[in-house]
Structure 1
Amino acid sequence: MRSSSYRALIAAIFLLFFHGVGLAQAEFLGAFTWEREEEYFGGVSGFDFFDDGSHFAAVGDNAITLIGTFERTDGRITAVTSPWIGGLRDVMGNRVQGNMTDAEGLALTPDGHWLVSFEDAHRVVEYADREARGRPYPVFRMMRDLAENRSLEGIAVDRDGAIFVLSEGRLPRTPGFPVFRFADGVWALFATLPEDGAYRPVGADFGPDGRLYVLWRRLALPFRFASRVTRHEVGEDGLTGGERVLQTELGAHDNLEGLAVWADETGLRLTMVSDDNYRGFQRTEFVEYRLSE
């Protein structure tokens, strides 16, 4: 019988050579499965850093909120300390319930506010901190045309404070996936992301380089996922570029939905988290890649 260390070595070799096939600039750094004892833990979809890649916040499909810190060895995640778990609140200060709970995306503003995008009841809500009452943004009329479970996913904030929200579903009679922007108090359809096979946009973040990074997911039954990340220049009239900087093999990771882009002395990093859909055969997994250019 092979030893556990031998199996771990084989797994590590597989990950290094086959994650991100064909994209030399994306180097796989590691994956870490995050576990907690609470029955309501899971469904983690939105994720962002407070700082330099260690202290983070997250939200889940049942409107849970989490705060944690990564412990790293040689730059790789080896443990997660998570002292806080709570829940999002409505304008009255009560826990959100029913079809209002499906939190999908999270972006932290420079002043520490939480911006959360929701599916089902399509909306964006701002929270002054982890226990604050929600302050909903006005609902853009075009968002009402999105399907219940195919709507607002990734959310990101640029350097000027403009909010960008991505939908994994399409608008009627409009090709591509809509990107909405809230700036100067007004919502607009800012751009559309072109369709590419079975991939759908599920996460977003602005990198230190000022470009918008988009996380895409493909599902192939039975519950095997592939992921990719594209990056885009943001102009006055929309998005340009769309260079693919990461492509994973089918089954390489779980259901990656949350993305944070940051930098250390070695270059840009992509940190992603998976939504386990509250299924025992899936997992909440943090995955990291380094971009060399």
Structure 2
Amino acid sequence: MCRRFAIQLIAALLLTGSVGAAEVKQATQLDSFVWRHSADWFGGFSAIHISENGQSMIALSDRSILLHARIHRDGDQIAQIQITERWPVLSSTGRPLSGSTGDSEGIAVTPNGSYYISFEAVHRVAQYANPDAKAQVLPRPKVFDDLNMNGSFEAMAIDHRGWLYTLPEKNRTKQGDIPVYRWDGQAWSTPFVLPQRGKFLPVSADFGPDGRFYVLERSFVLTGFRTRLRRWRIEDDVAKAEETLFTTSTGAHDNLEGLSVWCDDQGRLRATMISDDNFLALQRTELVEYLLPD
């Protein structure tokens, strides 16, 4: 947990109870780094995981490529990214995934180094013991059958208990809310929903070191992308204290799809996001970092 957070959270709760809703503080952009590589497999990144010290990265492409990389920094700026290992994401039979079955979108890394990957098109979530492992596909409840073909599980997150959360990009409840599905190791449930606000759609999620639930959202028009980051406290399966940390103008960033929230060596909360360039020359692979308020 980031330093000072526990004391600040208690103080914030006391103030909220005595003087009403506290003022929402905004995030501050630290960096925007364009990542280039000549390999034909490079691009389409849909998910990211940053180590706590900000030096190590796991990235996942939507063509079932998983890689590890080192991030070299100059203060608050990314100076260089060095790919150290790369693997194909495997099926349950041990074959590299491809085509619609390999539309990998979200990743959630467990404390022991295993991880979960979510897939669109063929809506499912699989667990991997390590990068070379075969997929162990989780049970698929019937509700997954009705999800949008190109708008299901882009977002994945894991909480301190090891419980897994995912949410669809496009499907909504009858009330118009965003359903959040949870896997507790035994079964899927829908513990809570999030309010849909405007035309932004959720594309990534993470539980930060502060325990709050962060959701990265995207809106697209012909002139470019807009990005929004919201967060909540999850208490007794209720999403509370919603905050909008930033909302960008059109074209401020590329197609940001992956999110990782972490603490730097100064105890500050950071959000790192990565863009999916869709393997198009007009787009770019971009890593964007924001400093987040406690």
Q: Same fold (TM over 0.5)?
A: yes
Q: Which amino acid aligns with 2:207?
A: F
Instruction: Give, in whole Å, the separation in 2 of the partners of 1:238 and 1:183.
Output: 16
Question: Following TM superposition, by how much is the alpha carbon of 1:189 offset from its aligned partner in structure 2, in angstroms?
Answer: 1.5
| Contact 1:49/1:108, CA 8 A, preserved across alignment | no
Partner amino acid, structure 1, of 2:239: L
Distance 1:257 1:52 in 2: 22
d(CA) in 2 for partners of 1:129, 1:42: 22
Whether the aligned pair in 1 keeps the contact of 2:213 and 2:234 (CA below 8 Å) is: yes
**CA shift in 2, pair 1:194/1:84, >3 Å:** same
Deviation of residue 25 (structure 1)?
3.2
Taking structure 2 as the reference length, the TM-score comes to: 0.88
**What letter is aligned with 2:236?**
E
Paired residue for 1:104? 105
Structure 1 residues 268 and 141: CA distance shift in structure 2, 3 A: same
Residue aligning to 1:252 = 252
| 1:58 paired to 2:65 | no
Per-residue deviation at 1:240?
1.8
Computed over aligned residues only, the root mean square deviation of the Cα atoms, in angstroms, reads 1.6
Q: 2:168: which partner in 1?
A: 167
Q: Does 1:147 align with 2:148?
A: yes
Residues 52 and 263 of structure 2 are in contact (CA less than 8 Å); yes or no, is this contact kept in structure 1?
Answer: no
Q: How does 1:203-242 map to 2 (within 5 A)?
A: 203-222=204-223, 224-242=224-242
Which residue of structure 2 aligns with residue 290 of structure 1? Answer: 291
Q: Which runs of 5+ in 2 are unaligned?
A: 1-23
Q: Would you say the 8 A contact 2:173–2:179 is kept in 1? A: no
> Quick one: which amino acid aligns to residue 233 of structure 1?
R
Letter in 1 for 2:40: E
Task: Write the letter of the residue equivalent to 2:133.
Answer: A
| Aligned twin of 1:263 | 263
Cα separation, 2, equivalents of 1:172 and 1:262: 31
Cα gap change, 1:172 to 1:156, in 2 (>3 Å): closer
- Amino acid in the other structure paired with 2:153: L
How far apart, in 1, do the equivalents of 2:127 and 2:51 lie?
Answer: 16
User: In percent, how many aligned pairs have the same letter?
Assistant: 37
In 2, the alpha carbon distance for the partners of 1:176 and 1:38 equals 40
Task: Give yes or no for contact 2:26–2:244 (8 Å, CA) kept in 1.
Answer: no
Cα distance in 1, alignment partners of residues 146 and 190 from structure 2: 13
- Counterpart residue number, 1:189: 190
Match in the other structure for 2:44: 43
Query: Aligned partners of 1:42, 1:207: CA distance in 2, in Å?
Result: 26
- Contact 2:212 2:234 (C-alpha < 8 Å) held by counterparts: yes
Matches within 5 A, 1:269-284: 269-284=270-285
Q: Which runs of 5+ in 1 are unaligned?
A: 1-22
How far 1:258 sits from its partner (Å)? 0.5
Partner of 2:114: 113
Superimposed CA distance per residue, residues 244-271 of structure 1 (whole angstroms, 9 cap, x where no aligned partner): 1122121100000100001121510010
**Higher alpha-carbon deviation: 29-38 or 184-193:** 184-193
Q: Do the aligned residues in 1 keep the contact of 2:51 with 2:262 (CA within 8 Å)?
A: no
How many equivalent pairs are there? 271
Work out the CA distance in 1 between the residues paired with 2:147 and 2:242: 24
Instruction: Report the Cα offset of residue 38 of structure 1.
Output: 1.2
- Match of 1:87? 88
Shift of 1:37: 1.4
What TM-score, normalized to structure 1?
Answer: 0.88
C-alpha distance in 2, partners of 1:174/1:100? 31
CA distance in 1 between counterparts of 2:230 and 2:172 reads 21
